[in-house]
Structure formats: C-alpha cells, structure tokens
Amino acid sequence: MSPVSLKEARKRLGDLVRAAELGASVPITRRGKTVARLVPPDTEPSRTKAPDLGAFRASLRAKGKSLSRIVIDSRRAERW
C-alpha cells in the first residue's frame, strides 16, 4: 500500500486497520519520512513457555539451621 501521512492516518485509521487485517503493510510518514508501519498480525502468536524454576529455587535454599531456629535457640540460651 502507498505511504500515508500521519495526519491522514489519524483520519482513516479504521480503513488502514482493515487493510492491515487483509494483509497489507501500511507505511505511515511524517514530513515524507516513514516513521511507522501498520502491519498485519502474526498468524500464530508466539508463546514462550516460562522456564521451570524449581531446580533454581532448590539451589537457593540455605544449608543448615533455619533463621527462625537460630533465633529461638539464641533466645533460649539467653534465658538460662
């Protein structure tokens, strides 16, 4: 499709979106220079599966006593 000025694109946005839905790529210009392009959507949206973080979380676990156990033991030791 031929380039459309930004001012004209604002006026005809519905028509331009319809053209993009039909597969056209619409360059949008400002002062004669292409600044954006309205393109049809991907046929299949790309979905990236989030990685399983279970192993990573397990590697972060502290070794030894938990902080709560250390505090409890420390308080008991101070009392006696």
Per domain, the residue ranges of the chain are 4-38
What CA–CA distance (Å, rounded) separates 12 from 69?
68
Among all chains, which residue has been given the structure tokens 């006696």?
A: 80
Copy the structure tokens of residue 70: 């250390």
pLDDT of residue 13: 95
Nearest to 10 by CA among 25, 30, 24: 30
Beta pairing partners, 28: 4, 36
Copy the structure tokens of residue 7: 């001012």
Q: What is the pTM assigned to this prediction?
A: 0.52
pLDDT of residue 31: 94
Q: Could you tell me if 17 and 38 are in contact, meaning their C-beta atoms sit under 8 angstroms apart?
A: yes
**pLDDT-flagged residues of the chain (< 70):** 45, 80
